[in-house]
Amino acid sequence: MKGFLKVWFTALAIIPVGALASPITGVLNFTTEADISSASGIDFVGSSFSVNGGPGSQTGGFVLLKGTTGTIKNITNPPDPVGVLATPVPDFLTFSAAPNISITFTYLAPGIDGSAGCTDSPPAAGQLCSPMGSPANLQNLSSTSSVLTFSIEGFEVDSLTGDTVPVIGSFIALFTTESYQSVIAGISGGGTVPASFGAQFSTIGTTATVPEPSTLAGSTIAMSVIAIGLIRRKRFNKL
């Protein structure tokens, strides 16, 4: 009997996480690196992300994924337009520990801060900017630091059952030595700006939120956990 139980529990340990819960619901927090440029949009380095592994970093079924990795597809604008994508992007997110679970990307939220402040000079704390036609929301935390956020939505797919569930996601990057005017100048001048993103995705019903820039400005927490403990700032526009 003991031998049978040992074999049974060993078998459970190697079953993909997604097979134990389909679809997965709750809140997912992860980090990823990206290069931002006018030529390629948001190019996620290595097409990879890391699911946060700290206590309380995930909720619901996503707890089973903490500390694992996955793949993420780039966001290019164009051809990915602001608003509803003409062609949804399947497998935008995939999970190494749950190969039957993926997230399809269907909607890129337009920036909501307006373009009027994009040319403000000199840089100063509190300035806001959303370049025309861009998904980016930029805010200066000081004359030499800024934060970028953008939001998407889509749906989670379980390939084993065909089940789907809507999801929303928010990305955030903190620039500790650059104002957004500097970031914009670098990108518009044909350069590439590296960024460390924290991201939070949630199934509809548990709303993903974007942290207050002031919270990030005073934080000494590493970028690997900036997506944990997010507080409500704003929800992105929905159709």
Q: Please give the pLDDT value at position 38.
A: 87
pLDDT digits (tens, 9 = 90+) for 33-57: 999 998 889 999 999 999 999 888 9
The per-residue pLDDT of the chain, averaged, comes to 81
Between the CA atoms of 40, 151, 168 and 27, what dihedral angle is there, to the nearest 10 degrees? Answer: 100
On whether residue 1 sits in a domain, the answer given is no
Q: What is the mean pLDDT of residues 16-40?
A: 81
How far CA 106 is from CA of 24, 29, 82, 168, 238, in Å, comes to 19, 20, 10, 10, 12
pTM score, whole prediction: 0.80
End-to-end CA distance of the chain: 57
Cβ of 44: how many Cβ atoms within 10 Å? 17
* Residue at 218 is within a domain: yes
Mean pLDDT of 147-163: 95
Q: Classify residue 91 as left (phi > 0), alpha (psi -120 to 50) or beta.
A: left
Tens-digit pLDDT profile for residues 183-238:
999 998 999 999 999 999 999 754 445 444 443 433 323 332 333 233 233 333 33
The answer to the question of residue 42 being in a domain is yes
Instruction: Kindly list the distances between the CA atom of residue 32 and the CA atoms of 120, 167, 195, in Å, as whole numbers in the listed order.
Output: 30, 19, 9
- 127 within domain boundaries: yes
- Residue at 150 is within a domain: yes
In a domain, 9, yes or no: no
Domain count, the chain: 1
Evaluate if residue 180 carries a pLDDT over 80.
yes
pLDDT, tens only, 88-112: 999 999 999 999 999 999 999 999 9
> Is 59 a domain residue?
yes
| Residues spanned by the domain of 41 | 23-225
Residue 233 lies in a domain: no
